[in-house]
Amino acid sequence: MVEVKIDNSLHGKEFLEMAFDRCIKCSTCKFGFKNFEPSCPSGEKFLFESYWASGRIRIIRGLINGDLEWTDDLKDAIFACPTCGACMDSCQAPQADFLVDIIEALREMAVKHIGPGPNQENLITRTKDVFNPYGEQNSDNSDLKEKYGLPDQAEWVYFIGCTSNYRQKNLRDSTLNFLKKVGIDFTLVDEHCCTSPLIRTGQINDVKDFMNYNVEQIKKAGATKVITSCAGCYRTLIKDFEKFGVDYDFEVYHTAELVKQLLDEKKIKIKSSYDKTVTYHDPCHLGRHMGVYEIPREVYKQIPGINLVEMRRNRNHAWCCGAGGGVKIGYPEWAVDISKERLEEAKETGASIVSSTCPFCRTNLSDANDKFKMGFEVLDLIEILDQMTIEVKQEE
């Protein structure tokens, strides 16, 4: 579990004014600091200054000072960005840690003046109608509770997340299987969207209502701990709930953190062998946004037989999968092209498996893998673990 403390005032005009005077346009945000390689999918795609972080800060300056008018011509520059945080990692200026927050604050203002980015209004209309951004009929998870024999009250709540529950069901089911297999006392709740897609696209009016609803459902279950296999939900539950002033008294874990803890405490042991070459893709919301890089790798390395190999750009220098920040719904073809570049890099490693710890990454990497016939198997870490024989230490 990651402890994150942030400034609760990261919204609106005052925050943006604080930010834009600190950028000296040094171009550090354009490149990965390690090997001076391109790091920004948006800038590399559009090749205009306004599509890099430094350019977006100049847009903020122009809008607030009245040198720019709010027009639809600004939409792509503001919304064609996966908010991956590569700029945040490379920037050496005082605003570095808040660059994604700055972009999100700009989007909040844009939504008020010119509306959301392309197709992104569907995220809010669907979520308000059926409580998830995919427009699927809401599931209260009662069928899953019955299928897996889950109680109404438990120590843990598995917060599935919309992408796993409505698009990546195998990832969801693998997580459920694993939690049952290792004896975690958990349940499910009638969860609604965690609000990550709304926050990333600047559509925040209903965010606190959704957050408070989810907190209330978790409280009703009597849980003191929440686990999620979604990097976006993880970031939102820890970082954005605090940002929006939503209080809760439960701990939040990513699946990889729980697995690592169980392995470290010798409560489980992986007995079977996974004799394949795997390369790990760092999800932006787990890595750059939350600083979780080594925990998943340490889990992979404890799987017998696995050959874990690294892509050229990894950890805080990893190339984004391209799905975040509203890009997947707003610019779907470009989103898949971003993933194609990542998979081309994976090819260099000789891996047959591309694995991650986020259902959104799994979706977009799979889409690129299929479209461009890259020949990989794309799996989440928990899907690999679900294939393993796991010995559980019995309580004495």
Backbone dihedral angles phi then psi of residue 7, each to the nearest 5 degrees: -70, 125
Q: Domain 12-114: state its class.
A: mainly alpha
Instruction: Kindly report the average pLDDT of the chain as a whole number.
Output: 94
Are 77 and 56 in contact by the 8 Å Cβ rule? The answer is yes
Q: Domain 268-391: state its class.
A: alpha beta
294 vs 25, 63, 299, 314, CA distance in Å? 32, 40, 9, 11
Q: What is the dihedral of CA 282, 285, 290, 292, to 10 degrees?
A: -20
Is a pLDDT exceeding 80 seen at residue 395? no
Share of the chain above pLDDT 90, in %: 86
Are 313 and 388 in contact by the 8 Å Cβ rule? The answer is no
What pLDDT, on the 0 to 100 scale, is given for residue 154?
98
Backbone dihedral angles phi then psi of residue 57, each to the nearest 5 degrees: -65, -35
Which band of pLDDT confidence, cut at 50, 70 and 90, is reported for residue 32? confident
- Residues 356-378 have pLDDT tens digits of 999 999 999 999 999 999 999 99
As a whole number of angstroms, the distance between CA 190 and CA 303 comes to 34
Tokens 């899907």 found at: 383
Q: What is the mean pLDDT of residues 226-249?
A: 97
Q: What is the mean pLDDT of residues 177-199?
A: 98
What pLDDT, on the 0 to 100 scale, is given for residue 6?
39
What pLDDT, on the 0 to 100 scale, is given for residue 26?
85
As a whole number of angstroms, the distance between CA 229 and CA 56 comes to 32
What pLDDT, on the 0 to 100 scale, is given for residue 211?
98
What pLDDT, on the 0 to 100 scale, is given for residue 301?
98
What pLDDT, on the 0 to 100 scale, is given for residue 256?
98
As a whole number of angstroms, the distance between CA 171 and CA 236 comes to 19
Q: What is the mean pLDDT of residues 109-138?
A: 97
208 vs 19, 83, 94, 194, 215, CA distance in Å? 25, 21, 29, 10, 10
Tokens for 226?
A: 């929440």
Q: What is the mean pLDDT of residues 299-310?
A: 98
The b/e string for 46-77 (b: 16+ C-beta within 10 A; e otherwise) is beebbbbbbbbbbbbbebeeeeeeeeeebbbb
Considering the chain, tell me which residue range(s) the CATH 1.10.1060.10 domain(s) occupy: 12-114
Q: What is the mean pLDDT of residues 345-355?
A: 98
What pLDDT, on the 0 to 100 scale, is given for residue 5?
41
As a whole number of angstroms, the distance between CA 15 and CA 383 comes to 41
Which CATH number describes the domain made up of 121-262?
Answer: 1.20.1050.140
Return the top range by mean pLDDT from 42-46, 60-64, 87-91.
42-46
Tokens 């402890």 found at: 3
Return the top range by mean pLDDT from 30-34, 61-65, 232-236, 392-396.
232-236
What pLDDT, on the 0 to 100 scale, is given for residue 17?
72
As a whole number of angstroms, the distance between CA 57 and CA 46 comes to 17
Q: What is the mean pLDDT of residues 164-168?
A: 98
Q: What is the mean pLDDT of residues 104-114?
A: 95
Q: What is the mean pLDDT of residues 191-220?
A: 98
Considering the chain, tell me which residue range(s) the CATH 1.20.1050.140 domain(s) occupy: 121-262
Instruction: Sort strands 268-270 and 390-392 into parallel, antiparallel or unpaired.
Output: antiparallel
Considering the chain, tell me which residue range(s) the CATH 3.40.50.1860 domain(s) occupy: 268-391
